[in-house]
Structure 1
Amino acid sequence: MSLDWQESTIAVSVPGGDPRHFRVQYFDTKEMFWHRHDVYNTRIDAEEALQQLASKGLKCRILEFGSCAAAR
């Protein structure tokens, strides 16, 4: 049995932790709260999503998680 390494596979950053990822959030001015739009494996994908949201006039940001504990 052979295992194939897939390019999208990301190793965990810490033992028992989550894989590195980038969260894109947008700000809801009515609720005054940041909402998660989506989670991406690469910064490039996250930046593309951020640009799409920003083009709609939304305030948005990317949060980079490089070392996340499993318990949040």
Structure 2
Amino acid sequence: MGRARAWSFERPNDADAKRRYVVEQREAVLRALAVHAPHTMAVFDVDFGHTDPQLVIPYGGQVVVDGPARRITVTY
């Protein structure tokens, strides 16, 4: 899951509001996974999507997620 974007020009959150937003989003995702896909590994705070810096992952590549090593490898 991409790193949460916890602010915008329309909603400029202070540091506490940003932390709350990130925690609440993470907890919501984990609750949904616990119900619908309990054996799924969740990876958070990846720099792709609408983040800065941004990693572009094109279609047709291979992504390997190694949870225990805390490593993501992208080949394309």
TM-score of the superposition, structure 1-length normalised? 0.29
User: Which of the two has greater helix per residue?
Assistant: 2
Higher RCO (C-alpha under 8 Å, 6+ residues apart): 1
